[in-house]
Amino acid sequence: MERQVDKQLKIEIEKFKKKLFEVEYVNSEVWHEFYQFILLSYECERKNRYSVSDISEILRPHEQRGYIATIYAHGLYMVAMSNNIRIYKNGFNP
């Protein structure tokens, strides 16, 4: 699927990336920024948000990029479930 990422998501991921690379360890302020990004991403159609692999690539060369990308996927799944949306198979897909 070709993604046409929402402009606001592009802005928000760059803000998160900047904060992420400014700190020695990922603190609560940085996580809060990322959780806000996940919530904003959820509001976008799939074609208009980043894929999990996109997140990992954007955050390169950060050593925790895979971990953060996994949190992105799980965060989207949790928001979907909280909205009574089925996940996996034919359900919600990040």
Domain ranges for the chain: 7-82
**Helix or strand (DSSP H, E) at 54:** helix 52-58
- pLDDT of 70-81, one tens digit each? 999 999 999 999
User: Residue 22 to residues 18, 19, 50: CA-CA distances in angstroms?
Assistant: 6, 5, 22
Tell me the average pLDDT across 29-33.
95
Contact between 44 and 9 under an 8 Å Cβ cutoff? The reply is: yes
Tell me the average pLDDT across 55-66.
93
Q: Tell me: pLDDT of 1 over 90.
A: no
Which of helix, strand or coil describes residue 43? coil
**Across the strands, what pairs with 2?**
none
91: confidence class by pLDDT, cuts 50, 70, 90: confident
Q: What is the pLDDT of residue 94?
A: 79
Contact between 19 and 57 under an 8 Å Cβ cutoff? The reply is: no
Q: What is the pLDDT of residue 8?
A: 97
Q: Tell me: pLDDT of 19 over 90.
A: yes
Contact between 51 and 3 under an 8 Å Cβ cutoff? The reply is: yes
